[in-house]
Chains A and B, each alone.
Chain A
Amino acid sequence: MRLFAELGAWTLNALQRLGRAHLLLLSMLRGFADMLRRPRLLLDQLLSVGVLTVLIISVAGLFVGMVLGLQGYYILSRFGGETALGLMVAASLVRELGPVLTALLFAGRAGSALTAEIGLMKATEQLSGLEMMAVNPQYRVLAPRFLAGLISVPLLAAIFSVLGVAGGWLVGGGMLGVDQAAFWNGMQEGIDFEDDVINGVIKSVVFGLVCTWIAIFQGYDCVPTSEGVSRATTRTVVHSSLAVLGLDFVLTALMFGE
Chain B
Amino acid sequence: MNKNRQIEIWVGLFMAAGLAALFVLAMQVSNLGNAYSGDTFQVNARFDNIGGLKVKAPVTIAGVEVGRVQDVYYDAEDFRAVVVLGIQDKYRERIPTDTFAKILTAGLLGEQYIGLDPGGSEEYLGQGSEIAVTQSALVLEEVVGQFIFGKGQEGFE
Contacts and interface: CB of A to CB of B under 8 A. Distances in A.
A54 B14 contact: yes
A51 B26 CA distance: 23
Contacts of A187: 29
A191 B24 CA distance: 13
Contact of B11 (A50, A158, A162): A50
Contact of B21 (A51, A159, A188): A159
Given A47-B11, A162-B24, A193 B31 contact: yes
A165 B13 CA distance: 21
Contact of B7 (A47, A152, A158): A47
Interface residues of B, number: 25
A209 interface: no
- Size bin of chain A's contact surface: 20 to 34
A139 B15 CA distance: 23
Contacts of B93: none
A125 B32 CA distance: 52
B22 A201 contact: yes
Contacts of A197: 25-26, 29-30, 32
Interface string A144-175: 00000000101110110110010000000000
A154 B11 contact: no
A161 B25 contact: yes
Nearest to B23: A158
Interface in B3-50: 4, 7-8, 10-11, 13-15, 17-19, 21-22, 24-26, 28-35
A189 interface: yes
Contacts of B33: 188
Contacts of A158: 18, 21-22, 25
A63 B25 CA distance: 18
A189 B113 CA distance: 13
A51 B18 contact: no
B113 to A, nearest CB: 11
A106 B50 CA distance: 47
Contact of A46 (B11, B29, B30): B11
A43 B7 contact: yes
Contacts of B24: 162
A94 interface: yes
Interface in A209-224: none
Contacts of A94: 25, 29-30
Nearest to A158: B21
Q: Which of B13, B15, B56: most chain A Cβ within 10 A?
A: B15
A154 B17 CA distance: 12
A188 to B, nearest CB: 5
A188 B19 contact: no
A165 to B, nearest CB: 6
A196 B11 contact: no
27 contacts: A40-B4, A43-B8, A43-B11, A46-B14, A46-B15, A47-B7, A50-B11, A51-B13, A94-B30, A152-B18, A155-B14, A155-B18, A159-B17, A161-B21, A162-B25, A187-B29, A188-B28, A188-B29, A188-B30, A188-B31, A188-B33, A191-B31, A192-B56, A193-B32, A197-B25, A197-B26, A200-B25
Given A192-B30, A193-B30, 9 more contacts: A43-B8, A155-B17, A155-B22, A158-B21, A159-B17, A162-B25, A193-B32, A196-B30, A197-B26
A-B residue pairs, 3 tightest by C-beta: A155-B18, A158-B21, A193-B32
